[in-house]
Structures are given as structure tokens and as C-alpha cells.
Structure 1
Amino acid sequence: METLSLEEVELLADATSEELAQLMWTATCRRYALIAEFAEEVLRDRFLLMQTELAHEHFDAFVSGKSLWHDELSELEPATFRKLRSNLFTMLREGNLISEGGTIIPTVLSVRVKEHLVRRTPSDVRFFPTREIA
């Protein structure tokens, strides 16, 4: 939550469950660059290209590509990699971004949350599977 602005934290007090999930996903993406890049480059792009399935293989390919620039990714132990992937997909499901079966769920950002996300440059809308302009 340390990545949320004071106004965003105040919004949590009376947020709906959907708004809460949207703000928590935003905070996660702001904190962890790898997750933010995955959200933007894989989750959102697949949604915009109408490729509605998101599987472990997509994460594996993403990390493989990123490891060309980040040696630490290629040095991950297999068990650590699996745990990272498992935790990410759990967060995606709990954030209502994908279904249990891996189908991408379009996000309808609340007006209140969107007001905060678009204040940043680039807009944090980019972390969500939505057709709204990021």
C-alpha cells in the first residue's frame, strides 16, 4: 500500500470490492516492475488483441524474453520460478483479472479509481485488461 497516494488510501475506506481489487492490483504493479510489465505487455496486449486466454506458458515466454536483459531472471531456481508464477496467477484470479480457467476478464474501472490512475504518466490504466485509453 506504500505505493498508493494519500487520496488512493482514503478511497480504500469506502471502496467497493471491485475498487479495492483494482487499487490493490495497481499497488502491486507499482511496487513490482516485472509484474507491471507482464500486466501491460502480456495481460493487456492479449486482451486488446482479443486473445482471451492467459496461461502459464505466456508468463514463461515473457520471463524468457526478459531474461535477455535481466540476468537475475535466468538465474532463478526452478522452484522459485514456479512459486513466482503461481503467486502471480493467484493475484490475477483474486483481482478478478482472469477466471479460474485462465480467461481474461475485462476490467471496468470505476470512475473514482480511473480518476486516480490517469493522473500518473504513463497512466496506470495500462495495468488492466480494458479498452480504455492508457
Structure 2
Amino acid sequence: MVLEKYEFSFTACSLHVNEMIQFLREQLGLEEVGDGGKKSSIKRKNQEFKKRLDTLTPAQTDAFLNGDSILRRQLAYLSACKLYDFLREFVVEVVREKMLLMDLNLSEGEYLSFYRRKMIDHEELEHLSPSTEDKVKQVIFRMLAEGGIINSVSEKVIQYQLLDPHLIRLIENDNPKWLEVFLFNDFQIMNYTKKV
């Protein structure tokens, strides 16, 4: 079985929720296109925003556009987990497992172990330069902090997730398995699915 190669284009930017909202508003014609900043970096970020937004269902996109800041942050995080397998697998295989064991301190060593494990099946990891490897790690932890999964990049304490019932419905209508990226255990996911 050939595994899909990991995509590391997320190193262009972490979640950048407010910029992502602005990009969506511009795409929908609700706002004039701004031109601040370096053209190349804006173009690269916008490409990432577009790919992330394309992973959301129409109902999720509407909630992202019109929701409060917490809902927007959570949907931006969800879109990143849907798009980037490397991020999603790290969250589900490492962060979620630690939450299930009530071990809330995430370490860079655990990230490194995960990275090395993945090298077995993903030879593209062997070809990353040391600076790109470092950038990938930095952006992963920044996304987790911006998404509210950990308290900060420096402390890396895993946070319990409280999801609004509206967000839970949006995820269930898409695929309840996505609740895993919010660290829900299998019993919780099964329970929510039965209520739908």
C-alpha cells in the first residue's frame, strides 16, 4: 500500500484566523481585496487559506464566516486537520492519546518520536532540510496553541475541549470521526453519533 505524501505547505502560515476570515470575505465579495504586505507571502498564505476553506462543508463555512471568535478558531483548526495529514496524525496519535491517559504535558521529545516513527513510511521526511524540519515543528505547535489544543507554544499543556453544540452538529453532519482532533474519546464520539 502506497501512502500519500505529507504536505508541508502549512509552513507558510499557522492558523491566522483573522486573515483567513478576511480572505473568505474577499472571496465572497463581501470585502474589497487588500494589498498590504509582501505580495509573495500574501499569495502563499491565500493559497493555504483557500485549500483549508475547501475542506469545510458549506454549513461549516457559513459558521466560520458568521460565528464568534471561538467557533472561528475551532473551525480554522478543523480545516487544517482535515487538510494536513501530518498535523491530524500527530493530534490523534500523540496529543489525543496523552489526553486519554490524563497526561497533559506535551513535550518536544514526543513530537520527535512521532516524527521518527513516520519516517519509516514517509521517506519525504528524510529529505526535509533541518531548517524545514524545525519550521514544521514550530508551525505544528503554533497551530495547536492557536486552536486552543495546548495552552501555549512554550508550556504545551493540553487543554480540555469544550465544543459548542452547534459545532458538534456541524462536525457530526460531516463525519463524527473529526471529533478526534478535538481530543474526544471513542465513547464520547459514539454517544454524540447516537443522538444525531
Q: Superposition RMSD on alpha carbons, in Å? A: 1.5
| Equivalent position of 1:22 in the other structure | 74
After TM superposition, give the deviation of residue 105 of structure 1 in Å. 0.5
Match of 1:31 in 2: 83
How far 1:27 moved relative to its partner? 0.2
Q: TM-score, normalised by structure 1?
A: 0.92
Q: Tell me whether 1:59 sits opposite 2:111 in the alignment.
A: yes
Q: What are the residue-to-residue correspondences of 1:1-134 with 2, within 5 Å?
A: 1-100=53-152, 101-121=155-175, 123-131=177-185, 132-133=188-189
**Where in structure 1 do 4 or more consecutive aligned residues deviate above 6 Å?**
none
Q: Is the CA contact 2:57–2:174 (under 8 Å) kept in the aligned structure 1? A: no
Identity of paired residues, percent? 27
Task: Provide the rounded CA distance (Å) in 2 between the counterparts of 1:118 and 1:55.
Answer: 31
Q: Distance in 2 between matches of 1:70 and 1:121?
A: 26
Unaligned runs of 5+ in 1: none
- The one-letter amino acid of 1:126's match is E
Letter in 2 for 1:14: N
Task: Select the structure of larger CA radius of gyration.
Answer: 2
- Tell me how many residue pairs correspond in the alignment: 134
Per-residue CA shift, 1:25-63, capped at 9, x if unaligned?
110011101111111111111111111011221111111
Q: Could you tell me which amino acid in structure 1 is paired with residue 59 of structure 2?
A: E
* Residues in 1 aligned to 2:82 and 2:156: alpha-carbon distance in whole angstroms: 23
Give 1:10 deviation, angstroms.
0.6
The DSSP-based 3-state class of the residue aligned with 1:86 is helix
Q: What is the letter of the counterpart of residue 112 of structure 1?
A: H
